[in-house]
Chains A and B, each alone.
Chain A
Amino acid sequence: DAGVTQSPTHLIKTRGQQVTLRCSPKSGHDTVSWYQQALGQGPQFIFQYYEEEERQRGNFPDRFSGHQFPNYSSELNVNALLLGDSALYLCASSYTGVRYGYTFGSGTRLTVV
């Protein structure tokens, strides 16, 4: 049983560009959450998707947007990249809420130059 799959694993982008990160949740999970983890910090919540809708959002600007597809997979899009967007982006899947525990992917390391 595959866990959470994220792609790509590493990415280098230039300031001002746009990026799309992808996540396939663990089998049986229907909720996808995205987190940003800066170097040496804990993960920071970006947003959560359930039934193809964003149902909660953290303190991130509108440059960060997402989407969930009918098969529960998800994308994170970041527009107008800033140097400060360099981080590990983690996708976590769960079933009907966090009480049942998140399963995290290995993340996408985004470097903005």
Chain B
Amino acid sequence: GENVEQHPSTLSVQEGDSAVIKCTYSDSASNYFPWYKQELGKGPQLIIDIRSNVGEKKDQRIAVTLNKTAKHFSLHITETQPEDSAVYFCAASTPLQNSGYSTLTFGKGTMLLVSP
């Protein structure tokens, strides 16, 4: 099955700096890559996603890049703010053979701490 590796496990930055989280996946059939933010006591919240036919996507201070050849994708957060502090998860969606559906495999998460 699919395996998603995520690095780093923790990331500390100063407010205003940029943060980068990287993930690799193993199954070349994976075709959808969402990123989730999870705050304490809450469920994961989708913050951005990218499909396999796109190399980069940006939404205000957040961007995601995808390199299908190398099987890796990254989350970039610019001008970080204290409220960005949370755990971030990458995930990969792998369609099942001969079916129209798929499920998500998650990385282990990155705890981002933004200091004022």
Please provide the chain B residues from 20 to 44 with a CB less than 8 Å away from any CB of chain A in the complex: 31-32, 34, 36, 41-44
Q: A98-B102, A101-B49 are in contact. Are A106 and B96 (CB under 8 A)?
A: no
A4 lies within 8 A of B43 (CB): yes
- Bin chain B's interface residue count: 20 to 34
Closest to A100 in B: B32
Chain A residues near B46 (CB-CB < 8 A): 101-103
Task: Count A interface residues, CB 8 Å.
Answer: 27
Query: Quick check: is A66 within 8 A (CB to CB) of the other chain?
Result: no
Taken residue by residue from 70 to 106, chain B's Cβ proximity to chain A (1 for < 8 Å, 0 otherwise) reads as 0000000000000000000101010010011111111
For the complex, give the distance between the alpha carbons of A103 and B70 in Å. 29
For the complex, give the distance between the alpha carbons of A57 and B100 in Å. 15
Please provide the chain A residues from 68 to 113 with a CB less than 8 Å away from any CB of chain B in the complex: 90, 96-99, 101-107
Taken residue by residue from 2 to 19, chain B's Cβ proximity to chain A (1 for < 8 Å, 0 otherwise) reads as 001010000000000000
Number of A-B pairs, beta carbon distance below 8 Å: 69
A90 lies within 8 A of B101 (CB): no
For the complex, give the distance between the alpha carbons of A43 and B51 in Å. 21
A42 lies within 8 A of B109 (CB): yes
B101 lies within 8 A of A41 (CB): no
A42 lies within 8 A of B41 (CB): no
B104 lies within 8 A of A98 (CB): yes
Closest to A45 in B: B103
Query: Quick check: is B68 within 8 A (CB to CB) of the other chain?
Result: no
Query: Quick check: is A48 within 8 A (CB to CB) of the other chain?
Result: yes
A residues near B, CB below 8 A? Answer: 4, 31, 33, 35, 40-45, 48, 50, 55-56, 58, 90, 96-99, 101-107
10 A–B contacts, CB within 8 A, in A order: A42-B106, A42-B109, A45-B103, A55-B99, A99-B93, A99-B102, A104-B45, A105-B43, A106-B41, A106-B42
Closest 4 CB pairs of A and B: A42-B106, A104-B43, A97-B101, A106-B43
